Structures are given as structure tokens and as C-alpha cells.
Homo-oligomer: A and B are copies of this chain.
Amino acid sequence: MTETMQRIVLASRPVGSPKPENFRLESTDIPTPADGEVVVKLHYMSLDPYMRGRMDDAKSYAAPVPVGGTMEGGSVGEVIASNSDKFAVGDFAFGMFGWATHGCLPASEMQKLNPAHGPIKSALGVLGMPGFTGWLGLNKYGRPQSGETLVVAAATGPVGQMVGQLAKLKGLRVVGIAGGAEKCALAVEKFGFDACLDHRAYSDAKSLRGALKDACPDGIDIYYENVAGKVLDAVLPMMNVAGRIPICGMIAWYNPDASMLDGPDNLPKMWRSILVKRLSVNGFIIFDHNDRYVEFLKEVGPMVATGKIAVVEDIVEGLENAPKAFMGLLEGKNMGKLMVKIS
């Protein structure tokens, strides 16, 4: 008897914010691994803002998920069948298996995990793509110098956690922006940020900027961009000469219907800031930098193991709850790195 698995497919493309009807839970047979392939029973799955982009068919750095296709995403689990000599049953692995209870990939696209080095779900967050994104963007494009001031939004998200804590360790003043008093308290008390502003407490960019001026008396040298919108508008005039803006995301603008609601009111103003302040603005996609992943693990792994870098995760139970959790993520409802516990 063939065993069945569950998966979540893209039922239709969202217009604006994703709605429950854009997703569909399906049952299907667990695949039999072809030559070189491995089947994994998934334990934890990651939910990340970039997935919103995959739901559109706009030209991007990655192909869109086709309608009817399994939603894309990274997950970790245990090998239950292998047709490759690189993985044995019982091994643990990470791969882009999609939103599903089981996944099948060529061994060459999977990464073996050693549970002795810490919980395997770390490969989805602090020691996975989000943590690596924070580390790479901060170091390569942010070029932090002791004594400077860094601002990062989504401060308690998995990227913000990493960016802020690494910057603190390098001697910067770190100011977070987050949604709600509870997240702000977490940023300061758990992650050691110097200050964290609740963007919900400020009705517009101007009032948020007023609060930022108090929190950043020497201006802003690095704005680690992951949200855009109102925060970008508030931050931009406060950038110091020779400031740096690494861009790894723009969550406020992922839903196109929101695109003009917030943000600097015109592009010439932004372009002028880049020129006049001699800013360095760099977009980057973490998948371009895989050659530095081992360097990241070597540097940050021990920091996590010793507690120098704190970790907060938000774990939702059950694959069927992934769409709701993902919609909440885009509204900032999660507290820390969002994952789904599958089995």
C-alpha cells in the first residue's frame, strides 16, 4: 500500500494580501525516490516573507510557484527512503521541500544536519537562511564600524535578531523598530538593543522620525532594509554621509495594493538623498552568496551554542495551519522566527 502525504498548493494568485482561498491542502502519494533522490519525513518548515513574492508571476530572481504547484519553502526532517549513497535512512537533512509533510529531492540539493550540533530546526532560522542573510548583509554591505548607529526594522524577526545582536557585539548603537510593545521589550531585554520603537505608536513617517531622532542622536550610519514603507521614509533623511543601506527585503511593499500607501513620497527625493549623502545602496539575494555559508556557520555557530547570540522562535503546530501563520507573518503577528512543526 502506498502511503499518503499532505501538501499545500497555490490555489490561485493573491491580489494584494494573500487570503485563505489562495491556498489548498491536498493529499497525494509519498513519492518513490528515483536514482539519486531521497525522501524525507519533515519535522519543521520555515515561513518567510520572500514566499509572498513566489505567489506572483512578476519577473523576479526566482520562478513563481505555478498555480496548483506546492508552495515553496525550506524544511528539515529525517530521511525515510534513499536512492543515493550520500544519505541513509535516519539521517537528518535540510532542503527546499516545500509546504508538505514529506519531500523528495536529489541528494545534491540537500544538506545533511548533525543533531549533535544543536536542534535541527536551527537550520531554518538562526543558523539557516535568515541568520545567514543577516550576517552577510551586515558585514558585506553594511560594513559596520564600532561607534556607528544601526537601525533595523522587524527587529525581533530572525534577520533582525541576527543583525542587531551582531552589530551590538561589534560596538554599534543598535535601534530596532518593531510592531507592538511586546516585541520592543523583547528586542531590548532579550537581544540587548539600545532602544526599540513601536512603529504602531506613530501614525506617520514624520512622527516616527521624531522618535528616531531621540533614539539616534548621532544620525544613522547603517539602515538594514527589510521592510521599506513608512520606516524607509522615516529613516532616509536621517542617514549620515557615507551611510549604507543593504536591502534584503521590503515586506511593506510585497503586497502591491499597499505600495503607495507608505514610503517616501517621490522617487526624486530618494534619488537625491543617495547622491547628496553619498549613500551605498545594495540589493542582495542570499542565494548568490552560498560560498560564504561555511564561514558564517564557523563564526556564528559557536556564538549560538554559547548563548552569545540569543534565539527566539515562534512555532505553530500542524501543516494545515501554515497558510494562516504565513498571512500573520506578513502582518507582523509572529514573535521571533516563525516555523511550522509538522511532525
Contact = CB atoms under 8 A, between A and B. Distances in A.
Interface of A: 59-61, 228, 232, 241-242, 247-250, 253, 259-260, 263-264, 266-268, 270-285, 288
A67 B282 CA distance: 38
B275 A250 contact: yes
A283 B276 contact: yes
Given A247-B274, A260-B268, 9 more contacts: A232-B271, A249-B275, A264-B267, A267-B270, A275-B283, A276-B285, A278-B284, A278-B288, A280-B283
Contact of A259 (B59, B61, B268, B282): B268
Contacts of A279: 281-283
A277 B268 contact: no
A288 to B, nearest CB: 6
A274 B281 contact: yes
A251 to B, nearest CB: 11
Contacts of A271: 228, 232, 247, 250, 253
Contacts of A275: 247-250, 283-285
Contacts of A263: 267-268
A332 B241 CA distance: 30
A343 to B, nearest CB: 34
A266 B267 contact: yes
Contact of A60 (B61, B242, B276): B276
Contacts of A264: 267
The 8 closest A-B pairs by CB, nearest first: A275-B283, A274-B283, A281-B281, A259-B268, A253-B268, A267-B267, A278-B283, A247-B275
A283 B260 CA distance: 25
A245 to B, nearest CB: 9
Contacts of A259: 266, 268
Nearest to A141: B280
A268 B228 contact: yes
Contacts of A280: 280-283
A275 B232 CA distance: 14
Contact of A250 (B249, B268, B282): B268
A228 B273 CA distance: 13
Nearest to A229: B268
Contacts of A284: 275, 278
A253 B266 CA distance: 11
A213 to B, nearest CB: 15
